[in-house]
Structure 1
Amino acid sequence: MTRICVAGGTGQAGREVVRQAVEGGHRVAVLSRRPPAPGEAGRDNGAQYFRGDVTTGEGLAAALAGADVVFDCLEGQSGRALKNFADGGARLLAAAQDAGVRKAVMLSIVNCDRSSFGYYKSKAAKEQVYERSGLETLALRATQFHSLLAGVFAAGSRIRLVPVVKGARFQPIAPAEVATALLEAALEAPSGVRHRVVTVGGPEIVGMRELAHSWQQATGARGRVVELPLPGGMGKYLRAGLNLAPGERHGTQTFEGWLAMHADSL
């Protein structure tokens, strides 16, 4: 049995790591700034929850005590969290090293080091922190989650317009399948390589317009699908197909399959 600490274990991917680790018989500690109370949604009764903050170091030692592996599923999408994202990773790794943790695995984004978009740049900066760490580390880069696309379509449909980025294709993947890949990478035998980068993508590559139509069919949402140019770093990233990993098709859950599974909550 392995003791696992999941930083960000209340987020989309983190919850899946926690669930699968508990089901696998591992002892799981969850580190979160706002851990859910007993009985609240998002809490796994088989895990132990700790309140902590990687931006200050508060609570890290208690959550990491006795851990063999730490997962970094934290997000920092805006404001102070985005600004301090890489520094938070360094603080988590330092605390992990002090606690005797043997391996650290972080969730990252495909080709994040080739994007000028701020959120993706923060992921690349944290990867560099992991590469410099004294621990054995691994950055698992994933393509975009199915839920990201569903969220974009849902936001636009409120004004009866479903936005599609001109020329964009996606290779979306289910958070559960990313969590499986994270666990497999964390629990494998020591590789002898101090730092590795691994990429996982969804099972199929589909144009954004086709994905929008699939979403409309699944949800019954009305609205005109509108193709729009996307300026800036994210637009350049998508136009270049850097959000894709054609040679790294993992899992089996397509966007349509994910929509069918989550029909009641869309």
Structure 2
Amino acid sequence: MVRVCIAGGTGQAGRAVVRQALDRGHAVAVLSRNPPLPGARGYYDGAAYFRADVTTGEGVAEALAGADVVIDCLEARTGKALRNYAAGGAALLGEAAAAGVARAVQLSIANCDQSTLAYYRSKADKERVYARSPLETRTVRTTQFHSLLAGIFAAGSRVGLVPVIKGARFQTIAPADVASALLEAALQPPSGDAHASQTIGGPEVLDMGSLASTWKRITGGRGLVTNLPLPGSTGRFLREGKNLAPGQRYGDTTFEAWLANRQENL
């Protein structure tokens, strides 16, 4: 049995890692600024939950105590949290080294270092932090989650249109499949490489219009599927397929299959 500490274990990917680690019989500690109460959605019996914040250090040492590996699923999308995202990763790695943790695994985004989006840049900055760590580290880069596209379509549907970015294709992936890859990276035998990275993508590469049509059919969502241009570097990033990893397909949960079980998946 391995003791796994999951930082950000209350988010989409983090919850899936917690569930799978428990199912495999491992000891699980969850580090979160807002851990769920027993009986709440996202709370798993058998996991130990710690209120902790990597930006202040509060509770981090307690969560890491006795851990063999830490899996970093932390997210930061706006404001101060985004600005401090890479520094928080460095603080987590420092505490992990002090606690005697053998390996750290982080969740990142495919080709994040080739995008100008602040969110993607923060991921690339954190990757560089991991690459300098004295700990053995593994980075798992993934394509976009199924829920991202579902959320975009649902938001547009509320005003009568389902937006489709012209020329954009996606290779969306299920958080459960991402969790499997993170656990594999965390539990594999030492390879001799101090720092390693892998990229994984979902089982299908589809144009956004096809995904929108599938979303409408499965969910019953309303709205006119509408092609919209996305100018600038982000539009170019998508049109050039830099959000894809066609040679690194992983898992078998398609967008359609994920939608069909969306109540359980969210």
Q: Which category of TM-score, normalised to the shorter sequence, fits these structures?
A: over 0.9
2:44 alignment counterpart: 44
Equivalent pairs, count:
266
Rounded to whole Å, the distance in 2 between the matches of 1:204 and 1:170 is: 8
The residue type equivalent to 2:241 in the other structure is G
Question: Deviations along 1:117-162, whole A, 9 cap, x unmatched?
Answer: 1100000000000000000001100000000000000000001110
Say which SS state the counterpart of residue 250 (structure 2) adopts.
coil
Cα distance, 1:236 vs. partner? 2.1
Q: Distance in 1 between matches of 2:83 and 2:148?
A: 22
- TM-aligned CA deviation for residue 246 of structure 1: 0.8
Is 1:170 aligned with 2:208? Answer: no
Paired residues of 1:219 and 1:263 also in contact (CA < 8 A): no
Cα distance in structure 1, aligned partners of 2:113 and 2:221: 36
Equivalence for 1:63: 63
Report the CA distance between 1:263 and its aligned residue: 5.8
* Structure 2, unaligned runs of 5 or more: none
Aligned match of 1:138: 138
1:199 aligns with 199
Letter aligned with residue 99 of structure 2: A
Contact 1:137 1:194 in 2 (8 A): yes
1:174–1:258 contact (8 Å) kept in structure 2: yes
State how far apart, in whole Å, the 2-side matches of 1:94 and 1:233 are. Answer: 35
- What's the offset of the Cα at 1:265? 8.2
Q: Which residue of 2 aligns with 1:108?
A: 108
TM (normalized to structure 1)? 0.98
Q: Deviations over 1:186-239 (max 9, x none)?
A: 100001101111001000100000000000001111111111111233222111
Shift of 1:241: 0.4
- Alignment check: 8 A CA contact 1:218 1:263 kept: no
* AA at the equivalent of 1:233: S
TM-score, scaled to structure 2: 0.98
Letter aligned with residue 95 of structure 1: E
Identity of aligned residues (%): 65
Any gaps of 5 or more consecutive residues in structure 1? none
Partners of 1:32 and 1:46 in 2: CA distance? 16
